[in-house]
Amino acid sequence: MNTPSSPLTDSFGRKHNYLRISLTERCNLRCSYCMPVDGVKLSPAEHLMNADEIFSIAQSFVKFGVTKIRLTGGEPLIRKDFPKILQTLSTLGVELSITSNAVSIDRHIELLKKTGVKTVNISLDTLSAERFHDITFRNYFDKVYQNILKLIDEGFKVKINAVLMRGVNDDEILDFIAFTKNHAVGFRFIEFMPFDGNQWKREKTVSYQEIMEQIKTAYSKDEIIRLQDAPNDTAKNYTIKGHRGTFAIISTVTNPFCDQCNRIRLTANGQLKNCLFSQKENDLLTALRNQEDIEPIIRKNISSKFAVRSGMEGPEFEDPKKHQQNRSMITIGG
């Protein structure tokens, strides 16, 4: 039987020590794979976690064995109280990281250093300014690009996440790889995944196998070096011989990694999700505000986790209708 301080373990023996907290449903970009073209219905401000509530819930998870917390969104940096949130979380003694679109991250570099953030994941789906506008509906490419270089110069471990979509940016795979030659970054190709409102179709997904086939047209077998993946890593990691950086593939659709999953997601309005694709959520925020014990809610949520992608495998997962009851990505958290 679990004790209050025992790890959060599901019925398949997976221990969950990684909490992803979404700070906001808002973003200053409008990437269609994340936000529906017509936008999303935002939660009223009073339904969102405030800074103290975020800290309180995070404290509970740390008590249950969480050792890593990633802050996501929307775009987490657009919250005015982001500095307070980061500063209080930094007192918990866990590994802190952040996912951002890097539009305004230069304003927070000293804060990130002060609070011990060493790893920053940046969303960037193209190396073309014109295509950046087509994908995001904003003209921030130069700002984002320069901020990535600034983060590298400042000594952060930078990972760049690119969602590959057939006919949109799949012709840039080798350009992304070339970027790692002179820049010490980890470029990560993410298969396009289905969420409510993002017009997902299986044929738009560029698979792990297709990505590797493209790379093999430009580099020999001896030049493509398979790296050791970290425990619970979602990505298959590689480097090219002589390159300063690395690349990886996150193959959620064609080659899922659920057997290694150690992740828990907390949405900006305080709902707990045990899987990115889960349609069921548990309300921690209301319980917290009612001064209820949230531990039983957390443990029940984790224990009910399916073995694979919220119980969806093969053709069932690839049916877009199966994802219409889930949230849009922007309201889940990256």
Tens digits of residue pLDDT in 82-110: 999 999 999 999 999 999 999 999 999 99
The pLDDT value recorded for residue 5 is 55
* Ordered DSSP codes for 80-100: TTHHHHHHHHGGG-SEEEEEE
* Section 273-300 average pLDDT: 95
Res. 159 pLDDT band, cuts 50 70 90: very high
Res. 3 pLDDT band, cuts 50 70 90: very low
Is pLDDT larger for residue 147 or for residue 200?
A: 147
Neighbour tally for 167: CB within 10 Å: 9
- Give the whole-angstrom CA distance, residue 31 versus residue 134: 9
The answer to whether residues 11 and 53 touch, using CB atoms and an 8 Å cutoff, is no
- Give the whole-angstrom CA distance, residue 124 versus residue 163: 8
The answer to whether residues 26 and 269 touch, using CB atoms and an 8 Å cutoff, is no
Report the helix count and the strand count for the chain, using DSSP H and E.
11, 14
Tens digits of residue pLDDT in 266-276: 999 999 999 98
Q: Spelled out in words, what is the top-level CATH class assigned to the domain 8-332?
A: alpha beta
Is pLDDT larger for residue 145 or for residue 279?
A: 145
Residue 1: pLDDT over 50: no
The answer to whether residues 310 and 258 touch, using CB atoms and an 8 Å cutoff, is no
Res. 311 pLDDT band, cuts 50 70 90: confident
Nearest one of 83, 81, 77 to 100, comparing CA atoms:
77
* Section 283-296 average pLDDT: 97
- Domain residue spans of the chain: 8-332
Average pLDDT, rounded, for the chain:
93
Residue 203: pLDDT over 50: yes
Residue 192: pLDDT over 90: no
Six-digit token string for 267: 């949405």
